Amino acid sequence: MSTSTFLFHYGQYVAYAAAWLIHSAYIGSLFRRYHRLRDEAKELHSGTK
Amino acid sequence: MKRAFPILAVLTALFLAYALYQSLVVAPTDALQGDVYRIIYYHVPSAWTAFLLFFVNFIASVQYLANAKPSTKQAAKWIVIIVGVVGAVAPFIPQVRDLLPAGLYPSSVATTILAVPVFYFLIGKFFPGQDLDVLAVTTAEVGVVFCTIVLVTGPIWARPVWGIWWAPGDIRLTSTLVLWLIYVSYLVLRRFSDSAQTQKLAAVLAIFGALDVPLVYFSIWFFRTQHPQPVIGGGGSIDPRMLHVLLISWMAFLCFAFLVCWSRYRLEKLRRAVEEAYALASLQGAEDVARGVTTSSVSLNGSAR
């Protein structure tokens, strides 16, 4: 099956998966940044005590 | 507020699931393109959401720059009011109406222009001072994510329908890519520049980026493009059932974008708070060192006497 034929039949699912892969990657990056900041804040708090 | 977020997240997830069901199952199949046309239900709402976010970024950036001095703040306020009044009336003047492309309703143009003062004053009210800059970076980043989805899902549709992934030279495609590149450079500037002027430079760049949005949007109205011509308004003939699903899908994406922006906004506030705390702690440390030096120098003086 050529790429065109495959996408003609399943393109909507591929696009949907791609869209949510991008959103998931971004939300994942937000979580990572949040945890890093929270650790930094904790470290700062314990350092100033 | 802490409780509102999870509740809204669950509601948004349900809404997105409903929109997905409508997009993949309920919406009728296109007579020519078959089911692959259903990409429209994530491609177009993502594009509209990105435009809206870049518009908010534009308003926040203009306001951030205008608020630097009381005189510019006052002048900007009046300019925005004048833009709103002129924009609400001008599209209905026959000479101006004739300039609009066929199918673009004067009421749509007036409503869009009226959004400028409405957003300007609402954003100014709810995001004072540095919060404007926080809002600007938030909307730019989330806007880039949605714009990336537009650029990824477009070629997935184009390959089976046009036979090519990308149409080089197509103004809609090129201007969208340029828009994405401008906002990516905006984020890169904010990430890697330590200058005190970064926020102002980024605000100026955002204003230039926002100027590309009308070009992207109207390119299919004014130019012949490989990209499909308008199907909504402009004499477009979208099936009402498809339009219904498209609007449901956009609403779901808007709710999702709102939640992501909320999270990103809180994260940026936290980042700035931590940065400020670090700066204060290092100042405190420097002060303690200085105090220690002074004390020792006093005792040395004392012993020397």
Q: Are B261 and B137 in contact (CB under 8 A)?
A: no
Question: Could you give the CA distance from residue B12 to residue B283 in angstroms, rounded to a whole number?
Answer: 44
Q: What is the largest CA-CA distance in chain B?
A: 101
Whether the pLDDT of residue A46 is over 90: the answer is no
Residues of chain B with C-beta less than 8 angstroms from the C-beta of A26 = 142, 145, 260
Between A30 and A3, name the one with better pLDDT.
A30
**So what's the pLDDT on residue A49?**
57
Residues of chain A with C-beta less than 8 angstroms from the C-beta of B160 = 4-5, 7-8, 11
Q: Which of B39, B159, B274 sits opposite A4 (nearest CB)?
A: B159
Task: Name which of B22, B116, B53 is nearest B256 in CA terms.
Answer: B53
Residues 6+ away with beta carbon under 8 Å from A19 = B42, B46, B149, B152, B153
Q: What's the Cα-to-Cα distance from A20 to each of A17, B14, B149, rounded to whole Å? A: 5, 15, 9
Residue B298 φ/ψ region, left for φ over 0, alpha for ψ in the -120 to 50 degree band, beta for the rest: alpha
Q: In Å, how far is A20's CA from the nearest CA of chain B? A: 9
Whether the pLDDT of residue B102 is over 80: the answer is no
> Percent of chain B having pLDDT more than 90?
60
Whether the pLDDT of residue B299 is over 50: the answer is no
Question: Could you give the CA distance from residue A49 to residue A28 in angstroms, rounded to a whole number?
Answer: 32
Please report which confidence band the pLDDT of residue B106 belongs to, taking 50, 70 and 90 as the band edges: confident
Q: Are B42 and A15 in contact (CB under 8 A)?
A: yes
Q: Are B160 and A5 in contact (CB under 8 A)?
A: yes
For B92, how many CA atoms within 13 A lie in the half-sphere containing its CB?
Answer: 9
Task: Note the ipTM here.
Answer: 0.91
**So what's the pLDDT on residue B175?**
92
**So what's the pLDDT on residue B292?**
72
Name the pTM for this structure.
0.89
Q: B164-220 pLDDT, tens per residue?
A: 999 888 889 999 999 999 999 999 999 998 888 899 999 999 999 998 888 888 877
Backbone φ and ψ of A13, nearest 5°: -75, -40
Between B17 and B291, name the one with better pLDDT.
B17
Question: Any chain B CB within 8 A of the CB of A22?
Answer: yes
Question: Could you give the CA distance from residue B192 to residue B284 in angstroms, rounded to a whole number?
Answer: 27
Whether the pLDDT of residue A36 is over 90: the answer is yes
